[in-house]
Amino acid sequence: MRKIYRVREGASANVHAELAEHPELLRELLFARGITDRENARRFLSPSYEGDSHNPFLLPDMDTAALRVRRAAHANELVCVWSDYDCDGVPGGVMLSEFLREIGCRVRHYIPHRHEEGYGLNADGLRELAREGVTLVITVDLGISEVEHALLARELGLDLIITDHHLPPPSLPEALAVLDPHRTDSPYPYRDLCGAGVAWKLVQAVLARERFGLPEGREKWFLDLVGLATLADMVPLTGENRMLASYGLIVLRLARRPGLRALLSLLRIDPRSLTEDDVTFMISPRINAASRMDHPETAARLLATHSAEEGAEFARTLNRINDERKGLVASTVKEARHRLREDASLAGDGPIVMGSPKWRPGVLGLVANALRESEGRPVFLWGREGGESLKGSCRSDDVNVVELMRAAGDVLLQFGGHEFSGGFTVADERVHELLPRLASAYERLRTGAPPVRDIALDRELALADAERTLSHLQGLTPFGEGNKKPLFLFPGVSVSRIRTFGKNGDHLELILSKNEAEISGVSFFSTPDSFEKPPQEGARADVVAHLERDFRGRARLRVVDVI
């Protein structure tokens, strides 16, 4: 995909006057985020628990849900928290389970096995819970589309409270309560909460009705798990999410959970300086690896344990599982690239569609993403993990994959996802139809012109200003979806030295200099050929990069491109 870089237009004089209390660079970066007045700048730069946390009872059915939880607590009922198996559902499920135990419920945390049970509720699991004596099931990060299973829960005598953040179907499940900010009848002012965030609103609501002897502010201590989920699930870090992520990082830095403390120690991360990048790139992949490779209960137990010894054991296990996951992804990427070179039917500029019964569906999203980045084409990969159907993942840069799968007709048993990432299920006997169907649909949907990616740069910057700029950026953190890291252009810098590093030499470091200023620039899983213009020692280049601190606390560039 061809990239065009453009430096953003600067803020007007009126905006600069309105934001005059802030440094000039910060004014420009606030303007780039649509913030043009003093009050919105204050709220963005200083998230407030009281000001940014909305009334939970604005969510439809919340009063019903809170009253039912109170009744369960007073009767010491056996309650099941049924959560998704990813790094939104697992922390959210642990958080809600802890809270319910504290107010007097007996709790079973049920996490379905990704490969044996699949996503969401299932009939066997609900029947098992009914036999165990469960009377109330509360979902976390799932359930909004579970129309049939909601009816089964009712037949089994299980009250069902759904907490979810996915888009609802035309008809809601017939549950006791359905908590989802995306409901069309919802007056809740913020729609982008993650699954754990919605579950936390239930905690807020219950405590608003009765404290159960818990001290004021107890709900804030759960924000380490809610913040972890908010950062991991890549929801927009705006409004209430920005508050949840900010306060979540504050609690995470206290390292109160023995399992997380052990994992951070293993990863050589000082909890006191934990960043959103540490959560996104170090912690959440290990939480997710549990369900991709083994069973998500390992991750849940790491987050929930009160034992330092158990925490250390779970941390080592998760790290080992993640290493296995990385090895499996690397070998699958290698096999897929070999097939790309050898199979003429996969040539051209259409979608890449391939699979193998030996490929594990749980890692195919990561493999598809690697191929998308290197090939610049939509990627659809399938594999098998038990059952009669094949499951796959897809990624794209230029075409909405959900629309693409819908345009492919009835070849898929199930599909869904977001604009540029999704999943699907296909029957064995029809998998050979996937490539021609998707290729034809892709031709109809794309514009026909070579895809161009227009990338906005926040401003030009001198190497000598890197350290000062980093101090100004601190107020904009945490960065993530809806609040991207500022991207700068460093023009006409000299490439003094190029070296690879890492166990397998997979990463690249460029030593850059200009006007007596020198700084390191790194790019992970890159070679000089990864960039628009391969850098050469002794030559000048324009470098596109983010600013960050290295492990010693010094400013460095995270190189995105050399042009």
The predicted pLDDT at position 24 comes to: 93
170 and 91 share a domain? yes
Sign for the CA dihedral angle at 423, 427, 430, 431 comes to: positive
Residue 502, phi-psi category: left (phi > 0), alpha (psi -120 to 50), beta (remainder): left
- 361: domain CATH number is 3.10.310.30
Helix (H, G, I), strand (E, B) or coil at 353: strand
Instruction: Assess if residue 263 is contained within a domain.
Output: no
How many H-runs (helices) and E-runs (strands) does the chain carry? 20, 18
What is the radius of gyration, based on Cα positions, of the chain? 25
Inter-residue contact 114 to 85 (CB < 8 Å): yes
Helix (H, G, I), strand (E, B) or coil at 562: strand
Say how far apart CA 558 and CA 287 lie, in whole Å: 25
158 and 84 share a domain? yes
Which of 450, 472, 493 terminates a domain? The answer is 450
The predicted pLDDT at position 528 comes to: 92
Residue at token pair 């129309």: 147
Helix (H, G, I), strand (E, B) or coil at 338: helix
List per-residue pLDDT tens for the chain, 563 residues long.
678 899 999 999 999 999 999 999 999 999 999 999 999 999 999 999 999 999 999 999 999 999 999 999 999 999 999 999 999 999 999 999 999 999 999 999 999 988 788 889 999 999 999 999 999 999 999 999 999 999 999 999 999 999 999 989 889 999 999 999 999 999 999 999 999 999 999 999 999 999 999 999 999 999 999 999 999 998 999 999 999 999 999 999 999 999 999 999 999 999 999 999 999 999 999 999 999 887 899 999 999 999 999 999 999 999 999 999 999 999 999 999 999 999 998 988 899 999 999 999 989 999 999 999 888 899 999 998 766 789 999 999 878 898 899 999 899 998 887 778 888 999 999 999 999 999 999 988 876 555 677 889 999 999 999 999 998 898 899 999 889 999 999 999 999 999 999 877 889 999 999 999 999 999 988 889 889 999 999 999 999 999 999 888 899 999 999 99
Which of 411, 430, 450 terminates a domain? The answer is 450
DSSP 281: I
415 and 547 share a domain? no
74 and 111 share a domain? yes
The model's pLDDT over 265-284, given as tens digits with 9 standing for 90+, comes to 999 999 999 999 999 999 99
94 and 212 share a domain? yes
Q: HEC profile for 286-323?
A: HHHHHHHHCCCHHHHHHHHCCCHHHHHHHHHHHHHHHH
Instruction: Assess if residue 169 is contained within a domain.
Output: yes
The answer to whether the predicted template modeling score (pTM) of the entire model surpasses 0.85 is yes
The predicted pLDDT at position 146 comes to: 94
Instruction: Assess if residue 105 is contained within a domain.
Output: yes
Q: Which residues of 440-451 are buried (b: 16+ CB within 10 A; e: fewer)?
A: ebbeeebeeeee
- 545: domain CATH number is 2.40.50.460
**Position 523, amino acid:** S
Residue 351: which of 243, 439, 463, 454 has the closest Cα?
Answer: 439
461 and 521 share a domain? yes
The model's pLDDT over 296-324, given as tens digits with 9 standing for 90+, comes to 999 999 999 999 999 999 999 999 999 99
Instruction: Assess if residue 282 is contained within a domain.
Output: no
Domain extent at residue 349:
343-450
77 and 193 share a domain? yes
Instruction: Assess if residue 246 is contained within a domain.
Output: no
Helix (H, G, I), strand (E, B) or coil at 315: helix
Residues in Cβ contact with 424 at an 8 Å cutoff, skipping those fewer than 6 apart:
380, 382, 391, 392, 393, 394, 405, 412, 413, 414, 415, 416
Instruction: Assess if residue 277 is contained within a domain.
Output: no
DSSP 234: T
DSSP 472-493: HHGGGPSPBTTBPPP-EEEEEE
The predicted pLDDT at position 448 comes to: 56
DSSP 38-54: HHHHHHHHS--HHHHS-
Cα 119 from chain centroid? 17
541 and 484 share a domain? yes
466 and 429 share a domain? no
By CB atoms closer than 10 A (0-12, 13-18, 19+), residue 502 is: exposed
Residues in Cβ contact with 101 at an 8 Å cutoff, skipping those fewer than 6 apart:
107
Number of domains the chain is built from? 3
551 and 418 share a domain? no
Say how far apart CA 245 and CA 230 lie, in whole Å: 6
The predicted pLDDT at position 559 comes to: 96
**Alpha carbon distances (Å) from 198 to 66, 70, 192:** 13, 18, 10
- 65: domain CATH number is 3.90.1640.30
- Where in 174-213 does DSSP place strands (E)? 177-179
Instruction: Assess if residue 283 is contained within a domain.
Output: no
97 and 128 share a domain? yes
Instruction: Assess if residue 119 is contained within a domain.
Output: yes
Which of 221, 240, 266 terminates a domain? The answer is 221
Segment 217-221 long-range contacts (CB within 8 Å, at least 24 positions apart):
218/102, 219/99, 220/49, 220/247, 220/251, 221/251, 221/256
- Where in 31-128 does DSSP place strands (E)? 78-83, 106-110
Helix (H, G, I), strand (E, B) or coil at 85: coil
163 and 209 share a domain? yes
Please give the structure tokens belonging to residue 325: 């996951």
Please give the structure tokens belonging to residue 286: 């290990």
